[in-house]
Amino acid sequence: MGTASSKSNINLSQVLNTEEPYSSVMLAVAALLAVVCYLWIQGKSKSKKEPPLPPGPWPLPIVGNLPFLNSDVLHTQFQALTLKYGPLMKIHLGSKLAIVVSSPDMAREVLKTHDITFANHDLPEVGKINTYGGEDILWSPYGTHWRRLRKLCVMKMFTTPTLEASYSTRREETRQTIVHMSEMAREGSPVNLGEQIFLSIFNVVTRMMWGATVEGDERTSLGNELKTLISDISDIEGIQNYSDFFPLFSRFDFQGLVKQMKGHVKKLDLLFDRVMESHVKMVGKKSEEEEDFLQYLLRVKDDDEKAPLSMTHVKSLLMDMVLGGVDTSVNASEFAMAEIVSRPEVLNKIRQELDQVIGKDNIVEESHLPKLPYLQAVMKETLRLHPTLPLLVPHRNSETSVVAGYTVPKDSKIFINVWAIHRDPKNWDEPNEFKPERFLENSLDFNGGDFKYLPFGSGRRICAAINMAERLVLFNIASLLHSFDWKAPQGQKFEVEEKFGLVLKLKSPLVAIPVPRLSDPKLYTA
């Protein structure tokens, strides 16, 4: 037994001695695996960790930065804050996170690099009222329905052949404006240019939409009424509505903005109902070439099974045309006229160009416009200094994104501060000066390809009506400047001061006395 015991002890010792190196190896392997696992877990946690939010002013609890923002000068406040926090900045609007974009590079990131992600617009509470629940082109989410709405409008209203075919309408309405102003000139009466430009453009757009026009004694009174109504609607859209920043309380409408909007929209709604009722009876009675926009919509509304149009969709498109197509063009025209008549040196250059191309024994035709490079430069410079939508229409991202190394959470409100981009000394020489000559020296256009100049936006949501707006504005101001000299009423002077809102406007109406300047009095007849 002793021998057996001895052998047993030896075997046990041998076993222990032979396992010792293996045990050390196993411990080393285990330690190595632990380190690898730790590093892998750390790497995973870092990869999951999102980049920081963009910099921005420190918010107060609940209300965020709202107490420090003035809705009357929001674009200039954002511009000032950008100098401290950079071209991609966060602002807390109550429970809503807003991101302010203030440079060409950041605008390119949002409107081109991440275009699809940021292709939605941020629908406000009041926008739900004047677009029948956001069923229009402006506020509809990017997708099949939105693409069909835009396609319908572009095909029937904004293509080059359509615009050329509707030139007679623009010509007739512009001539009516000139005739009306010449009558006021004979009386030495001052003219509210904004109202008259509004009526001219309103008549053009409504004739293209449903064949209606306003003339005679009704022209001035109705022009004032409709301009005020449409202006009030756009003003409400530009007010900071706390219902947008605190959605839980939106049903209470503490500021009464939704109630006001309903009252204004009801008036336009009655007009649309009356017009649509008469047009429903006419569907199919005109050829496709003869039908107006409304007849076209009523005819094709059920053609696409994937995106059929309801009568509400039809009305929302009419609202887009009236509010978007008229108001923005009128304000651009007003700013252009205000800048021109307040600057004698600019006015003289335009007159020289008009007289050289057209002469004083003829009237302006649209065919003359491409031959007026200085006037085109004046329009571009006007929209640089006074972009119609200074913050564009706020965008909203459909998913969380990383822009320039910063996280932009899903459903953020995205402001593109075009007003600040257009006045940035990094992009423009003497940015606050009115210098049309700068556009004679470059090839910048309205199509949003160069992100330092975005008067109509860029990307998928760029304005669909650029071609029509350019023709309307240029033809109007060319005709007014060619037909008349303009004098300030006694004791007054021309001023160019902005009133901020969703749409940028002149703070005070542009009132001037027209003085005929053409050689033949017959040129002031229709």
pLDDT digits (tens, 9 = 90+) for 349-405: 999 999 999 999 999 999 999 999 999 999 999 999 999 999 999 999 999 999 999
Q: Are 151 and 296 in contact (CB under 8 A)?
A: no
Domains of the chain with CATH codes: 105-524 (1.10.630.10)
> For position 291, what pLDDT does the model report?
83
Is a pLDDT exceeding 50 seen at residue 42? no
* Neighbour tally for 248: CB within 10 Å: 8
Is a pLDDT exceeding 70 seen at residue 33? no
Q: Are 130 and 316 in contact (CB under 8 A)?
A: no
Amino acid at position 522, single letter: K
Q: Which two tokens stand for residue 202?
A: 């309103």
- Least confident range of 66-75, 116-125, 176-185, 263-272: 263-272
Q: Are 156 and 293 in contact (CB under 8 A)?
A: yes
Q: Binding-site residues, please?
A: 463
* Neighbour tally for 431: CB within 10 Å: 17
Distance between CA 374 and CA 262 in Å, rounded? Answer: 43
Which alpha helices (H) appear in 187-256, and where do they start and end? 193-210, 218-237, 242-245
Is a pLDDT exceeding 50 seen at residue 134? yes
Q: Are 186 and 515 in contact (CB under 8 A)?
A: no
Instruction: Tell which residue, 469, 526, 468, has the closest CA to residue 173.
Output: 526
Model confidence pLDDT, tens digit, residues 407-440: 999 999 999 999 999 999 999 999 999 999 999 9
> For position 219, what pLDDT does the model report?
54
Q: Is pLDDT larger for residue 12 or for residue 298?
A: 298
pLDDT bin (cut points 50, 70, 90) of residue 16 is: very low
Is a pLDDT exceeding 80 seen at residue 41? no
Q: Which two tokens stand for residue 44?
A: 């995973």
Measured torsion, CA atoms of residues 106, 111, 112, 118, in degrees rounded to the nearest 10? 110
* Neighbour tally for 52: CB within 10 Å: 10
pTM of the model: 0.86
Q: Binding-site residues for heme, please?
A: 463
Q: Are 467 and 153 in contact (CB under 8 A)?
A: no
Q: Are 204 and 525 in contact (CB under 8 A)?
A: no
> For position 109, what pLDDT does the model report?
98
Model confidence pLDDT, tens digit, residues 120-130: 999 999 999 98
Is a pLDDT exceeding 70 seen at residue 338? yes
Distance between CA 420 and CA 418 in Å, rounded? Answer: 5
Is a pLDDT exceeding 70 seen at residue 192? yes
Q: Backbone dihedral region of 253: left (phi > 0), alpha (psi from -120 to 50 degrees) or beta?
A: left
Q: How far is CA 233 from CA 167, 171, 291, in A?
A: 29, 29, 29
- Cα angle vertex 515, ends 510, 517, to 5°? 125
